[in-house]
Structure 1
Amino acid sequence: MTALLTVEDLHVDFPGKGRGAPRVQVLRGVSLSVRPGETLGLVGESGSGKSTLGRAILGLAPVRSGAITFAGERLDGLGRRRRRELAREIQVIFQDPYTSLNPSRTVGDTLAEPLLGQGLSGRAARARVDELLDRVHLPGGAGERLPREFSGGQRQRVAIARALALGPRLVVCDEPVSALDLTTQKTVLDLLLEIQEQSGVAYLFVSHDLSVVRFVSHRVAVIHQGEIVESGPAAVVTAEPSHPYTRALLLAAPVADVAAQRLRRAAFEQEYGSAAR
């Protein structure tokens, strides 16, 4: 199957702090692909470059070299106008649903904005908003409420509805459940899987949590210090990883049993501590 999104030999760097400081390399030759209708989980610790990759795909981080191709079109170097047009095709769900929503606007107004911007009439936009709210299982009348009137999990549902408003083919999910409690995480992840099954949307799912990535992903790519160190089917990479860094992530993942967690932590420190640094 032809890839929907392809990233080839991508390099991203940022200016160093202070005058004359060398530039900081964040991504070093990253290559990956996402097929239509699949979820690619991108997992790594804080500072690994995973969110920078997502931002580069969205046009929010500068690309020094390499190529990003979506549906056969090069994204790196696109002008602002074409980027706005591609908003129908590529959307994003951010980590913190509250700061990504306008606190002074009702949820209905927030969801209607991109629809009106694409030329829908007010009546058609309102009908689409009602459809979106129902799709993410929010109660009737939710469109008349402000973000502060929702729980964290409900606000993330609103953020998901906004990402789906224009019928995208790809959604970049940037740590979409890391700010939620475990029960709410499961509910939101189940919703994302349900939406994917119904619509065929593809996800690039960015996370630091290997267990979350295992739950939602078809394939997994592991990023460490700006480089992809391991990739493959989710069942293989998350159960029998070959790279020491991936094994360190697996041992560091929390488990419910306190005694087992203590043993895993000890094994992590003893065997793979240096690999994770």
Structure 2
Amino acid sequence: MTAPLLEVSHLDVAYPVKGWRRPDFPALRDVSLAIETGETLGLVGESGSGKTTLGRAILGLAPVTAGDIAFQGAQIARLPRSARRALSKDIQVIFQDPYSSLNPAMTVSDILAEPLTAGGASRADAHRRVRELLDRVGLPADAARRLPREFSGGQRQRIAIARALARGPKLIVCDEVVSALDLTTQARVLDLLIELQENTGVAYLFISHDLSVVRHISHRVAVMLRGRIIEEGDAETVTSTPAEPYTQRLLLASPVADPVEQAARRAHYDSLPPIAAPKVVEK
């Protein structure tokens, strides 16, 4: 059997806390998961659960206290900066706010060409690739000459997706990429990500607090609580009939249009037992 594209093993991340002899804050504790080539793993949990910290650790932006991260069989958790920069060709990220992640002083063409020229492409090849990327994410060719502020939120997120795809990555960390968008735009961006995955074979770590969004795009789902993964399985099972009370709460917290059904969901939510300390999912 071949190794997974990405494998996280018993990962701990702790942040220092201000104050004399105060212990570090454990943001992640004994986290293990794997992502296969062309697969989407949805990572869901409330704010502060540790899901964004896990994404940052994979990207080399959070300090790994213990455990390992392997990409294509090679350990990457403690790479020097130069090696991590080279790895950016294969591992990319799309952030929650597309406007703050795009340089407002640069045209879309320059934003998309920058990672290409930094990777050694000629200006001509880079601009040819920019035209391909804009077409792939459904933006007109004249978008290349415009600034990010001239686009809607959904269009800016398409630009961010195009930038992440520029160098043909194998894995993209999607950190709450649709949470700032309206429902109609959310659906369009999610459908675009699915289409791009089908055409390119890229894998996603899709981070979200919304189980309904995760269900739409994911093959498998992992649920985080207080820095641990407490439930993991195929998307249909975890998002429809979850075993853990915490996951059930996440499911019932999503509103529905029918007031009778919404009242029943609220009553079910209130009847659930208090959330206990998380237990580790056996691998």
Q: TM-score range by the shorter chain?
A: over 0.9
Other-structure match for 2:3 = 2
CA contact (8 A) 2:215 2:235 kept: yes
Once residues 207 and 256 of structure 1 are traced to their aligned partners in structure 2, the CA distance between those partners, rounded to angstroms, is: 22
The runs of 4+ residues in structure 1 deviating greater than 6 Å are none
Other-structure match for 1:199 = 200
Other-structure match for 2:44 = 43
Q: CA deviation at 1:18?
A: 2.9
Other-structure match for 1:150 = 151
Secondary structure at the residue paired with 2:172?
strand
Letter in 2 for 1:122: R
TM superposition score normalised by structure 1: 0.97
Q: How does 1:23-62 map to 2 (within 5 A)?
A: 23-62=24-63
- RMSD across aligned C-alpha pairs, in angstroms? 1.3
Q: CA deviation at 1:70?
A: 0.2
% identical aligned pairs: 62
Other-structure match for 1:104 = 105
Once residues 165 and 247 of structure 1 are traced to their aligned partners in structure 2, the CA distance between those partners, rounded to angstroms, is: 38
Secondary structure at the residue paired with 2:272?
helix
Unaligned runs of 5+ in 1: none
Q: How does 1:1-277 map to 2 (within 5 A)?
A: 2-272=3-273, 274-275=274-275
Letter in 1 for 2:263: R
Once residues 265 and 200 of structure 1 are traced to their aligned partners in structure 2, the CA distance between those partners, rounded to angstroms, is: 40
Secondary structure at the residue paired with 2:117?
helix
CA contact (8 A) 1:106 1:147 kept: yes
CA contact (8 A) 1:248 1:276 kept: no
Secondary structure at the residue paired with 1:238?
helix
CA contact (8 A) 2:38 2:197 kept: yes
Count of aligned pairs: 276
Q: Which segment drifts farther, 244-253 or 212-221?
A: 244-253
Q: Which segment drifts farther, 206-215 or 262-271?
A: 262-271
Q: CA deviation at 1:276?
A: 8.2
Once residues 276 and 38 of structure 1 are traced to their aligned partners in structure 2, the CA distance between those partners, rounded to angstroms, is: 31
Q: CA deviation at 1:258?
A: 3.5
Secondary structure at the residue paired with 1:157?
helix
Q: CA deviation at 1:263?
A: 2.8
Letter in 1 for 2:275: A
Unaligned runs of 5+ in 2: 278-283
